[in-house]
């Protein structure tokens, strides 16, 4: 199956997020009343990955 450029872009962004989770850059904090995510020093990486996903979604919905 050949992916479109948009699908490839989204897949790369999702893989980047998965990699950050695997490396514990994204950590689930359950010490508080509510369960939330916070970012370690490499948090900018996840912000960049989310930004790529947002841009790809915006392109798809134009």
In the prediction, which pLDDT does 7 show? 84
Taking the whole predicted model, whether its pTM rises above 0.85 is answered as: no
Q: Using CA atoms, how far apart are residues 43 and 27, in angstroms rounded to an integer?
A: 10
Beta bridge partners of 41: none
Segment 6-58, tens digit of pLDDT: 888 888 888 887 777 777 766 655 565 555 555 555 666 777 777 887 788 77
In the prediction, which pLDDT does 6 show? 84
Q: Enumerate the domain spans of the chain.
A: 5-60
Give which of 43, 46, 47, 60 is closest to 8, Cα–Cα: 60
E strand or H helix at 55, and its extent? helix 43-60
């Amino acid at each position: 199956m050949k992916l479109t450029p948009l699908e490839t872009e989204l897949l790369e962004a999702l893989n980047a997020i998965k990699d950050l989770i695997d490396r514990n850059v994204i950590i689930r904090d359950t010490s508080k009343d509510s369960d939330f995510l916070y970012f370690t020093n490499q948090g900018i990486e996840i912000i960049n990955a989310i930004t790529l996903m947002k841009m790809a979604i915006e392109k798809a919905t134009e």
